[in-house]
Structure 1
Amino acid sequence: MLDRLGDRWTVLVLVELSKGTRRFRELERAIPGISQRMLSLTAKRLCRDGVVERTVYPTTPPQTDYRLTPMGESLAGMVSALADWSRENKDAIGAARSRWDREHQ
C-alpha cells in the first residue's frame, strides 16, 4: 500500500472518490493530466488492494462506477489530512528548500 500512496495518481483518485461514487469518465475529467491508461491501471490496483469497489453495468456501452470501500474511506481520510497539511505548509516547504539549495551549492 505504501507503494500505491507514493504514486501521485493514487492520491488524486482517492481524494476524488472521497467525494462519492464516480464513473470512469468523471474521474478522468476531475483529475487533470491523467491518461485513460493510468486511470485504468490505478483503479485496478486500488480494487485489487480492496480500497476501491468497481461495479460494471450491462449497458451499451458498458458503464462502470467506482466507490471507496469502508477500508478505502478510512484511508481517504488520512490522505485528505495529508493533502491539507501539504497545502497549509506549501510556502514553508518552499522556503526550506530554497535555504537548503543556497547552503548546499
Structure 2
Amino acid sequence: MKLYLGGGTYVSEGAVNHVDGGWADATKLMYKGADEAVAKFSSTMRKPPPLDRFQRLLQWSTFNFPTGSGEHLLIAQTELGNLPAEMPSRYEVLSAVVDA
C-alpha cells in the first residue's frame, strides 16, 4: 500500500558499480494522477507489479515424502525459474550507465 500511495512510480531494478559506488536504476510508472490511481487501485492490489514479475518466474513441482505410517505425503514446492531473455540485457544497460 505504501508503494502504491507513494507517488505512482517505483524502482523496479538497479545496478551498482562496486568500485566507485555509482548507481543506476529503472523506474516503473504505475499511474499518472489521482483519477488513474483510483481506477487502477483494485487491479494493482490483486496483481502488484513487483510481485507479479517474481511470480511469473516461479515453477511449481511436487514430490512424495514418506511418512512413518508408510503412506506418502504429496508436497508442493516452488523453484525460481530462468530469467526471461530480456533480463540480462536490461542489467547490461543499467551496468553500462553505472560504469560510464
Structure whose alpha-carbon radius of gyration is higher: 2
Task: Indicate the structure with greater strand content.
Answer: 2
> Could you state the TM-score of these two structures normalised by the residue count of structure 2?
0.32
